[in-house]
Amino acid sequence: MERTLYEEDHELFRESVRAFVERFVRPGYSQFTADRVITRDVWHEAGRAGFLGLGVADEHGGSDVHDYRFNAVWVEELSKVSAGVASSFSVHTDIVAPYVADLTTQEQRKRWLPAFCSGEMVAAIGMTEPAAGSDLAALRTTAVADGSDWIINGSKTFITNGYSADFVVLAARTDPAAKSARGITLFGVTADTPGFSRGRKLQKVGQPESDTAELFFTDMRVPGDAVIGEVDHGFPLMMQRLPQERISVAVSSIAHATQILGETLDYVAERKAFGASIGSFQHNKFLLAELVTKIDVTQAFVDSCVAAHSRGKLSAVDAAKAKWWSSEVQNAVLDACVQLHGGYGYMTEYRAAQAWMDGRVTKIWAGTNEIMKEIIGRSLGF
């Protein structure tokens, strides 16, 4: 189905992203997966090309582009070749960037954003904790005032870019007496701060190229000017920015599934059994008809959400719908692609198998799909 979301400038930008992918991502992919991290030279090249500063003012090294459709193109093209590379870069450009570009002081922007945009500084976000996954209000990492400084103690887990990050937007509880979501503050923390340490690279089912780690903070002293936004007002700031994280996941999920389904269509056209291509068998033909329809219908809704977000009109409920539905469709499509490949679909050397492993996490991160349904259900008055 023809997509009407993008204009000529977006498609020209897509060509630039594709050139970057072909030159720096595809050739290095096997190394990224072996080392379980994206090499720094690729970050630097992304910065030189202007991909890391979308939504950041040019005075701080950014592209000064304030149209989320460019972010969507960036995520789509990365997702087609590697879900893990897409997740690492989208954490930087879609999740961390809005905090640093929109909520900081002029001094903080001057301090952090040039390196953020150039790729010299890889960013992560520290929200998830061992005892508080989707329930961000239950976090236990603490920040205690000590004069004009803050002393931070606690830990975070499942942090994308955690092993390589130079900078972390960190959520900590600053008012232990406050109930639930109140009393949480955001901090900008650099990895060279005494008391900051990392655990091991976590072994994941999929997306090995996206480094994921635990972070630990032991009597970590940060200055007062590390606070992002207002003290004790971090939770609403996180809630306001979660729709962008969730629509980014939706964009990636559907682009990833669309690419692998296209490759599977080529496979079933060529693969022969009983004297005919396996795609011509009625069961497979009907299955493929269902899959391409699910993709097209989901793409139309996700495109509508991207357009709404570009206008500043995307609601938290619609973002939740896009996130859970696209990830469900993605996983259904990828599972079917594995089945259509037969025994080869279970071999990791085949893209369908790797994609199947890579895609499973999308039903968990950015808030589990069960949490997404809770958000939608509450909007119905229940």
Instruction: For residue 237, give the 3-state DSSP assignment.
Output: helix
Cα 67 from Cα 56, distance rounded (Å): 11
**Average pLDDT, integer, range 137-143:** 90
**Average pLDDT, integer, range 183-194:** 97
Compute CA distances 238 → 114, 148, 281, 316, 356, whole Å.
23, 24, 49, 12, 30
Per-chain mean pLDDT for the chain: 96
Reported as a pLDDT band with limits 50, 70 and 90, residue 179 is confident
**Average pLDDT, integer, range 18-32:** 97
**Average pLDDT, integer, range 241-253:** 97
Closest CA to 309 of 228, 242, 376: 242
Write down the catalytic residue from 245, 263, 290, 374. Answer: 245
pLDDT digits over 295-344, tens only? 999 999 999 999 999 999 999 999 999 999 999 999 999 999 999 999 99
- Give me the pLDDT at residue 382, please: 86
CA within 13 Å, CB half, 337: 30
**Average pLDDT, integer, range 172-195:** 92
Cα 54 from Cα 65, distance rounded (Å): 5
Beta-bridge partners for 276: 273
Reported as a pLDDT band with limits 50, 70 and 90, residue 89 is very high
**Average pLDDT, integer, range 105-123:** 98
Strands (E) located in the chain: 123-126, 142-146, 149-160, 167-173, 184-190, 196-201, 212-223, 227-228, 272-273, 276-277
pTM: 0.95
Closest CA to 144 of 109, 183, 118: 183
> Quick check: 136 pLDDT over 90?
no
302 close to 247: Cβ distance less than 8 angstroms:
yes
Quick check: is 230 catalytic?
no
pLDDT digits over 250-273, tens only? 999 999 999 999 999 999 999 999
Bigger pLDDT: 352 or 132? 352
| DSSP structure class, residue 152 | E
Closest CA to 16 of 51, 64, 53: 51
**Average pLDDT, integer, range 235-259:** 97
